[in-house]
Amino acid sequence: MSKKSQNYILHILGCLLFISIPVLSSPDFNTNTELMKLAPFRQTFFKFVLLLCFFYVNYLYIIPRFYFSKKYFYFVISIVICFCIIAYLPHYLIPFKGYHGRTPLEDDMPMPPPGSGFNPRNGGPFPFMHFAFGGSLLQVLLVFSLSFLLRVNQRLSDIESEKLKTQVSYLRAQINPHFLFNTLNSLYALALEKSEAAPEAILKLSGMMRYVVTESDREHVALENEIKYIQNYISLQKLRMDDNTCLNFTTKGDTGGKYISPLLLIPFIENAFKYGLNPEEKSAIEVHLAISEKHLSLRVKNNKVNITLPYDEKSGHGLENTRMRLQYLYPDKHNLSIFDTPETFEVQLTITLV
C-alpha cells in the first residue's frame, strides 16, 4: 500500500472517530431514543460536522492560500468568519431553548435544581469530552491547532522531500560524467592502436550514453536495462586489460518484470576498476549479481593496487553519494556492507526490488 493510500485511510478513520464523539458522549446513547429526534443532539452533531469541515478548509485552503503567502490579515479574518459560523449557525438552524422549550421526548427528564446551571444533556458516559469541547471557542481553537500543526508539518516534509530530490539529481549529475571520461579514454587507446574492436566499442559507448540521457531522470528503470549498462561498461574496461588482470563477472536470476533506480549499482563497479586495475600489477576484480524474486544482491571485490589518480578523483565522493541515494531511494529496503582491508576492498549490497 502506498503512502498516499495510507494517508487517505488515516483521514477517513479520523473523520469517523471525530463524528462519533457526539454520538458516544450523548446521554441517550444507550437508550432506545432516536438521537436525531433530539434537538440538542442535532445541534451538537451539526456543530461537529462544521468543525470537521473547518479542519479541511483550514488545512487545504486557508493556511496554504493566506498563511504561507504571508497574507496574515486575510488569514485571521478567515478564521474569525469560520468561528462565527460554527458558533452561531447550529443554534440558528436548530434552536433549542432548554427545559422551557422541551420537546415531547424530553418531558420525562428531571428538572435541574434551581440556579444550579446543570443540564442533564451536557452529561453522558464521557463527561471529559464535554469538558474538552465544551465551548465553541475551545472547539475551534483545538481543531485549528491540529490542522495548523499538521499542515505546517506537511509543508516541512514537502520542502525536505524536494530538497532530497534536488540533491539526488545533483548527485546523478556528479556520477554520470565520470563514466564518459573512462570510456573515452578506452576509445582513445583503441584509436591509437587502430584496433578492430573500436566500432563495437563505439556502439557500446553510444548505448551507454543513450541510457544515461534517456533513463537517468526516471525514478525506476527496467532491471535488465541497468544490467545491460553494467555489461557494456565492463566490456569497455576489458579492452584495456592485459594478462595481469583477473576479472570474474557473473549474473544469475530472472530480471523480467523487475525495476531499480537508474545508475545505482555502477559506482561500486566503477570504484573497483578505479582502484583495482593496474597493468603493471597482478589485479583481481570480482563482480557478482544475483536476482531473486524480490531482492537483488551485488558483490564487488578488488585487490588494491598502486595507482596515481588526479586529486579530484581521490575524494571518494562517488561511494558517499551512492550511500545517500540508497538512504533516500531505498529507506529500510537495502543493506550495504563495506569491508576495507589493506589488501582488498569489498562491497556487499542487497536491495528489495520494486
How far is Cα 191 from Cα 197, in angstroms, rounded to an integer? 9
| DSSP states along 202-270 | HHHHHHHHHHHHHHTTSS-EEHHHHHHHHHHHHHHHHTT--TTEEEEEEEES--TT-EE-TTSSHHHHH
> pLDDT of 13-39, one tens digit each?
989 998 888 888 887 777 777 888 888
Angle at 249 between CA 175 and CA 300, to 5 degrees: 55
- Where do we find the cell 583477473? 246
How far is Cα 195 from Cα 343, in angstroms, rounded to an integer? 34
Angle at 101 between CA 100 and CA 107, to 5 degrees: 85
Residues 137-144, mean pLDDT to the nearest whole number: 88
> pLDDT of 329-344, one tens digit each?
888 899 999 999 989 9
Residue 61 has pLDDT above 60, yes or no: yes
How far is Cα 81 from Cα 77, in angstroms, rounded to an integer? 6
pTM for this model (two decimals): 0.54
DSSP-derived letter for residue 335 is E
How far is Cα 294 from Cα 224, in angstroms, rounded to an integer? 15
Looking at residue 128, its pLDDT comes to: 37
- Does residue 50 or residue 36 have the better pLDDT? 50
Looking at residue 302, its pLDDT comes to: 93
Buried b (16+ CB within 10 A) or exposed e, 305-332: beeeeeeeeeeeebbebbeebbeebbee
Looking at residue 340, its pLDDT comes to: 92
| Mean model confidence pLDDT for the chain | 79
Looking at residue 73, its pLDDT comes to: 93
Looking at residue 248, its pLDDT comes to: 94
* Per-residue pLDDT band at 194 (split at 50, 70, 90): confident
* Per-residue pLDDT band at 52 (split at 50, 70, 90): very high
> pLDDT of 94-129, one tens digit each?
876 554 444 444 444 444 444 434 344 444 444 433
Separation in Å, CA 116 to CA 16, 266, 332: 35, 79, 60
Dihedral over Cα of 308, 311, 315, 316: its sign: negative
Residue 351 has pLDDT above 80, yes or no: yes
Looking at residue 169, its pLDDT comes to: 59
Looking at residue 96, its pLDDT comes to: 66
> pLDDT of 256-308, one tens digit each?
899 998 888 988 998 898 888 887 788 899 999 999 989 999 999 999 888 76
Grouping H, G, I as helix, E, B as strand and the rest as coil, residue 148 is helix
Residue 83 has pLDDT above 70, yes or no: yes
Separation in Å, CA 194 to CA 190, 191, 198, 236, 242: 6, 5, 8, 16, 17
| DSSP states along 274-332 | HHH--TTS-EEEEEEEEE-SSEEEEEEEEE-------GGGSS-HHHHHHHHHHHHHSTT
Specify the pairing of strand 283-291 against strand 259-260. Answer: unpaired
* Per-residue pLDDT band at 241 (split at 50, 70, 90): confident
